[in-house]
Structure 1
Amino acid sequence: MRGYSKYQQTDIGWIGDVPSHWSKNKFKFLLREKTKTQNIELPCGSISFGSVVFKDSEKLTEETRLAYQEVLSGEFLVNPLNLNYDLKSLRTALSEINVIVSSGYIVLQSEGVVNKNYLKWLLFVFDIRHMKTLGAGIRQTITFKDIGNCTTYIPADDEQVAIASFLDRETARIDNLIAEKQTFINLLKEKRQALISHVVTKGIDPNVKMKDSGVEWIGEVPEHWCLGRVKHISSFITSGPRGWSELIDENSSSVFLQSGDLNNNLGLELKKAKRVSPPDGAEGVRTRLLGGDVVVCITGANTGRVAIAESIEETVYINQHLSLIRPKLKKIRPKFLAYFLSSDAGSKYYALTQYGLKEGLSLKNISETPLVFPSVDEQESIERKLDLELTKSTALLNSVLESIELLKEHRTALISAAVTGKIDVRSYKEEAA
């Protein structure tokens, strides 16, 4: 796309040079801060990914709701808090719904000087390029005064409409592409899960004779396979220690493994894990992870996530939200066990065990997990097949994820270029017509 024929220099870093006919202005002349207004009849909301959305308010007390402020459709919302803690989130939005939000937010109303839709995109660029550099204090919080005193350049009314319409159309197109790719990713993940679940319960020989496993969600399994529970093929099952959070020490060489350090591919993310200086004694010996151990998350949002410690080059201890299973290698291979526990056969058991008011899994739940398995040699063949197939799907998955990131980068660059006048969308409109 072509740029404008003439530009003027500015001293505003986040804008750069702008078309020569654009005029200088300040945000305080485009927006005004709305007086905090109570409206307990409205549902609660917040900013999420640059949009005002509804949020669950069942757990909020009436006192808390009374402290919330109104933001109506057509008004702008800004999250001014803790800018230095989160440099990625989008912190401005043009609301399309009527809600009440935390009093920590800034609610702004348009002064009618510029098109609201154009102002939405201008604030987006201001947010990602400059707003996060404002504010003061440990929590780096800003006020409307910080925003209002910032200078910008704006085009004439008809050009604002053209830019806003262009960005609405083009970002919607990109968002649709991203949504299609995300749908493909979800289907790919479902296919991967289905493959794992089939192979670890049915084997790789389609002609093998089958028998009833006696477990409803597992169904039939190969006739020669063994039936049992995790406790029957384990030499040791434990969970992490309590109270070690006070022993976290980033200067220590020992890793303190937490549920968030388990990835979705049966692996451990040790590089980003916290460090700990463990106490002397049996507690450290009991909770130390060894090569070949299988780890299961037993509490929290990641309950049921599984990983295998295929090789451990560092000293690693598990925390209280994890369970450690040490397989008997003559009966079961660690990776086959990890595949099985991460399959539908394992996840459905975990879901049924937590049914109702119960949250999380106990060590007894882990020990009693139903299990089916063939000989060690056949387990190895199953692992090879799964490793091969999943390597292919992982490569495809990573390729699609990379393309999504490129689309997101292109989306941001396109918005920035249009709002700051680096491309002339009027000519694009004429060519498109």
Structure 2
Amino acid sequence: MSEINSSLIKKEGLEWIGEIPRTWNINRLKISISKVKNGVWGEDQKRDKNDIECVRVADFNRLKFVIDNKPLTVRNVIENNKFLLEKGDLLIEKSGGGDKQPVGFVVRYNLNKPAVYANFIAKMTLNCELADSEYFMYLHSTLYAHRITLRSIKQTTGIQNLDINSYMNEYVPYPPLQIQREISKYLNQKTSEIDTLIADKERLIELLEEKRQAVITETVTKGLDPNVKMKDSGVEWIGEVPEHWEDSKIKHTCLINDKVLSESTPKDLDLHYIDIGSVNSSGEIIGIEKYKFSSAPSRARRVVKKGDTLISTVRTYLRAITWIDQDLTNLIASTGFAVITPQKMVEDRFLSYLLRSNLYVENIVSKSVGVSYPAISFKELENMPIFFPSIKEQKDIVKKIDDQSEHLISSKKEILLQISKLKEYRQSLIYEAVTGKIDVSDYDVPVESDPEEVSQ
């Protein structure tokens, strides 16, 4: 693959685009679109002729810019034929978002089944005489990656809204239609190669996490001595536990949701807020938002302090369970969490590992009720049985888990860095192609630099 001959390039004066081939044009986004139509949410499923699958923003695959091929939410939409998607339509998130994941993300509808799209989404039907669906999918991803969409975001409350008209007035490159198709074909091939590498590395992370979970589950339920005398716990899903361990329930050993913010809280109070989405399935807090009380979400009410364990009581299959190791002022969690504060007989780290073990997570999920948003009741949670040794032995158990987890966590961090570099390379490759920095006419020639090398 060769760089485009510099003698064939002209400067267009748009910073993010840079130089483009002389045969390309620059024009507004809106001429690539023949129609924009907002989505619909309808009503709950009624099992009649108006039931239809509905694409939500949660179904967006943000790596591949398509819709995940899985069962979609079923909604009841009258005259749903007015909102039907066709393969190749582009979908843009027009409402919702947040500081870390703004609105304006675009995906291509790639599924071979009838579906409509939710009210936080708009469908963009392309002008097929000027625009190739896949090329513009990649082009929109570049606009998003370069944060061009931020210019068109309006936010007066907690929710972001994309000014579609403003966004459609952005200038973008327009290669000849045949060149667009060649770029699409090239990027489909190359991104697929990179995606395979990323998937392989993500599987390695899953295996490391499974190994760590096995260590946690075995140690917090069986103890440190493989020769210790065991007893039947009397709880089918727990099985045998060391004979000398005490048995109790969460409600007898912990406080649950001990403190909450009142409505009389000063409006200008600074909060550090943890939402359900802020905790990943590995028990890591991946983001703490800052708000004034007056602008914080209405669910920002649970008071949290260092040593507490948070258990997501909604969408429990996400395994959003974490231990608080930070001593932040005014740390607040969503009411979707149960805040568990251990008392003197239970060490906080031991309790956290216990509640994050496979046995407890699977029990929490199994006791949850609901389809779209399964939730566990307060009563089920507070009556959950726990078994534990002396404080000294609990601390020894925590130390063993920490020691055995250290190299697993280190390996995971290294692989995550490799994945991050691959994603950066992927987006850079897309940018270079859609803005004409590279000549893709010889797309079928192997790339000189191996994507694997980028991740090292």
Change (3 A) 1:177 1:395: same
Contact 1:210 1:220 in 2 (8 A): yes
Q: Which runs of 5+ in 2 are unaligned?
A: 41-48, 156-160, 295-301, 449-456
Shift of 1:41: 8.3
Task: Tell me which residue corresponds to 1:211.
Answer: 231
Percent identity, aligned pairs only, is: 25
For residue 180 of structure 1, report the CA deviation from its aligned partner.
Answer: 1.7
1:44 alignment counterpart: 54
Find the residue that maps to 2:216 and give its secondary structure.
helix
Q: CA, structure 1 residues 270+247, in 2 after alignment: closer, same or farther (shift >3 Å)?
A: farther
CA contact (8 A) 2:316 2:376 kept: no
Q: Is 1:312 matched up with 2:327?
A: yes
Q: Structure 1 residue 253: deviation in Å?
A: 5.6
Cα distance between partner residues in 2 of 1:140 and 1:66: 24
The one-character-per-residue Cα deviations of 1:219-241 (angstroms, maximum 9, x if unpaired) are 12223333333345x2x523256
Offset, 1:66: 4.3
Q: Residues of 1 paired with 2:30 and 2:260: CA distance? A: 53
- 1:338 corresponds in structure 2 to 352
- Distance in 2 between residues matched to 1:27 and 1:269, nearest whole Å: 34
Q: Cα offset for 1:3?
A: 1.2
Q: Give the CA deviation at 1:211.
A: 2.4
Instruction: Give the corresponding residue for 1:18.
Output: 20
Match of 2:173 in 1: 152
Bigger-Rg structure (1/2): 1
Deviation larger for 264-273 or 397-406? 264-273
* RMSD, aligned α-carbons: 4.1
Contact 2:88 2:134 in 1 (8 A): no
- Aligned counterparts of 1:199 and 1:133: Cα–Cα separation in 2: 48
Q: Is the 8 A contact 1:135 1:142 kept in 2?
A: yes
Q: CA deviation at 1:115?
A: 4.5
Task: Name the CA shift for 1:111/1:371 in 2 (closer, same or farther; >3 Å).
Answer: closer
Q: Deviations over 1:374-432 (max 9, x none)?
A: 23222222111101122222222222222222211111110110111111223453567
Change (3 A) 1:89 1:339: farther
Taking structure 1 as the reference length, the TM-score comes to 0.77
Equivalent residues in 2 for 1:8-407, closer than 5 Å? 8-24=10-26, 27=29, 30-33=32-35, 43-46=53-56, 48=60, 49=62, 50-52=65-67, 56-58=72-74, 60-63=75-78, 66=80, 69-81=83-95, 86-87=101-102, 90-93=105-108, 95-97=110-112, 98-102=114-118, 105-113=122-130, 115-129=132-146, 132-133=149-150, 135=152, 138=155, 139-143=161-165, 147=168, 150-155=171-176, 157=178, 159-232=179-252, 234=253, 237-240=255-258, 244=262, 247=265, 249=267, 251-252=268-269, 272=289, 274=291, 292=307, 294-297=308-311, 299-301=313-315, 305-309=320-324, 312=327, 314=329, 320-329=335-344, 331-354=345-368, 359-362=375-378, 364-407=379-422
Cα separation, 2, equivalents of 1:188 and 1:319: 29
Which amino acid is 1:152 matched to? P
Aligned to 2:84, what secondary structure does the other structure show?
A: strand
- Maintained 8 Å contact 1:231/1:367: yes
Stretches of 4+ aligned residues off by more than 6 angstroms: 34-42, 82-85, 267-270
In the alignment of these two chains, the number of paired residues is 414
- What are structure 1's unaligned runs of at least 5 residues? 278-286
TM-score, reference length from structure 2: 0.74
Q: Deviations over 1:215-266 (max 9, x none)?
A: 211112223333333345x2x52325667366374x4367676656666666
